[in-house]
Structure 1
Amino acid sequence: MIHYYQSAREREPYAMRFGVAFQPGPQQTVRPGESGIFVRRPRADHPGSLKPMSPFEAVTGRWGLIPLFSKDGEDPLFEAAAETAATERNYLQPWKRGHRCVVLADALIIEGRNGPGSIQQLSRADGTVLAVAGLWNGWRSPQGQCVESFSILTVRCEGGVRHPALLHDAWLEDWLACPVEETTAFLRPYSPESELVRREIAGA
């Protein structure tokens, strides 16, 4: 599972990859249940969506997707298995509606990849940001508040270990805009592995 991630701290990845004018501010460590930034296609009911400046937008939401049917917003979902998200009740509606997103991160901190208790930092060998595939949802609380939330998608890798679904730079716009039936084509173990750097760390 992802222990936490270090969100992208520069504006260039948002501008160059998505055409979004967005300043994320200082690097932020985002843990499950905390607020993070994700990129998506603008909501149909988003203010100004009739004439968007960009086909994409950067949004602040809670890491932990709240299903539409949730009554209280409790028990958020932090990670979604790509193999079952299309049919699993918790993720069915965001999947069918094409509520896909991208989380840009300088590094991911992952638990358990090399056995119980192991903690590993994952980053790009070239120093650029990681693009992680996700699903988002807008849930309305009993008080009428719309809560934006997201979950990170994971894929099964060699040995049965689960890994965040990382997207190549050339896939980003297609991932966000493709028809729902093409979604699974982007959810696969990242290759080549030589583009990634893994480092064992302690006390994360």
Structure 2
Amino acid sequence: MCSRYEAPSHPQIMKAFGVEGPEQGRLDLWPTYMGPFLRRPEREEGQDEPGPALEVLSGSFGLIPSWSKDTKIARRTYNARSETAAKKPSFRSAWKNGQHCIIPAAAIYEPDWRSGKAIPTRIARADGELLGIAGLWEWWRNPDGEVIHSYSMLTINADDHTFMRDYHKPDDEKRMVVILPAGLYNDWLDAPARESMEFMRQYPADRMAVVPKERES
């Protein structure tokens, strides 16, 4: 599970995905904070000309279903268990409609309990490239009529993952976010709901590493 992650900067997103997005003022994100996510643009009614293949939106880290009374639910919906997302009220609409997105991340943070205490640990790709995390997106309209987008990171079991099994409490089920290989980005965004589970795979352990955060000058 992931309740804290480091969003990439605007130039990093441009370099990795070739698309411009909203400026990201806060890089260390927790549930309910606003962060970037990528999706296929929705076609407007009557639109004939093809639009951009990809767009970056700013949304709440924590999915807010359309029926929610307020945004507080985002404190609990930042991760979606892939095994149950199709049935859970908070996620089933986004799952059923194939509202797939990619959450770009420079790193995620997980607690290392091997010392007996929770030590926040920064985890990134070993090659230094951005993580592309599979997610679901949703939209919600507030009482003022403003549309607020939101997203949740999909997770899978990691009990047998030689890297991620070292994180979280010893007796808890080990979970990890679904990190997509770059070659599957387009496939994930275009996949219908019936094929969603085919992408729920563990990212190779040898492609992940503990990477200390660089000190800011």
Q: Same fold (TM over 0.5)?
A: yes
Q: 2 CA distance for matches of 1:22 and 1:72? A: 26
Contact residue 2 and residue 111 of structure 1 kept, 8 A: no
1:26-41 maps to which residues of 2 (within 5 A)?
A: 28-41=27-40
Q: Which has the higher mean CA deviation after the structures are superposed, 104-113 or 135-144?
A: 104-113
Deviation at 1:189, TM superposition (A): 1.3
CA contact (8 A) 2:13 2:20 kept: no
The one of 54, 57, 60 equivalent to 2:55 is 57
Go from structure 1 to structure 2 and tell me whether the alpha carbon gap of 1:49 and 1:110 turns closer, same or farther (over 3 Å shift): farther
Q: Secondary structure at the match of 1:152?
A: strand
Superposition deviation, residue 73 in structure 1? 2.9
1:185 and 2:198 correspond: yes
SS of 1:184's partner is helix
Q: Which residue identity is paired with 2:61?
A: W
Q: State the distance in 2 between where 1:75 and 1:37 align.
A: 19
Deviations along 1:141-180, whole A, 9 cap, x unmatched? Answer: 2321211111111111125301111100111000011111
Partner of 1:43: 42
**Do the aligned residues in 2 keep the contact of 1:2 with 1:110 (CA within 8 Å)?**
yes
Counterpart position of 2:166: none
Contact 2:61–2:151 under 8 Å retained in 1: yes
Aligned to 1:164: 177
Distance 2:175 2:51 in 1: 37
Alignment of 1:15-26 (within 5 A): 16-17=16-17, 19-22=18-21, 24=23
CA contact (8 A) 1:8 1:27 kept: no
CA 1:118–1:45: 2 relative to 1, 3 Å: farther
Higher strand share: 1
Q: What whole-Å deviation, never above 9, does each CA across 1:167-203 have from its counterpart, x for those lacking one?
A: 0011100001111111111111112x111102589xx
> Could you tell me which residue of structure 1 aligns to residue 95 of structure 2?
95
- Partner SS state of residue 176, structure 1: helix
| Change in CA separation of 1:129 and 1:87 when aligned onto 2, cut-off 3 Å | same
Question: What is the letter of the counterpart of residue 148 of structure 1?
Answer: H
For 2:106, the aligned partner's letter is: D
Unaligned runs of 5+ in 1: none
Instruction: Report the alpha carbon displacement of residue 51 of structure 1 after superposing the two structures with TM.
Output: 3.6
Cα deviation, 1:106-145, whole Å, max 9, x if unaligned, reads: 1111236757623221101111111111111011123212
State the AA in 2 paired with 1:41: R
**Superposition deviation, residue 6 in structure 1:** 1.2
Alignment-mate amino acid for residue 59 of structure 1: L
* Secondary structure of residue in 2 paired with 1:158: coil
Checking the alignment, whether the CA contact within 8 Å between 2:100 and 2:189 is kept in structure 1 is yes
Q: In 2, distance between residues paired with 1:190 and 1:34?
A: 26
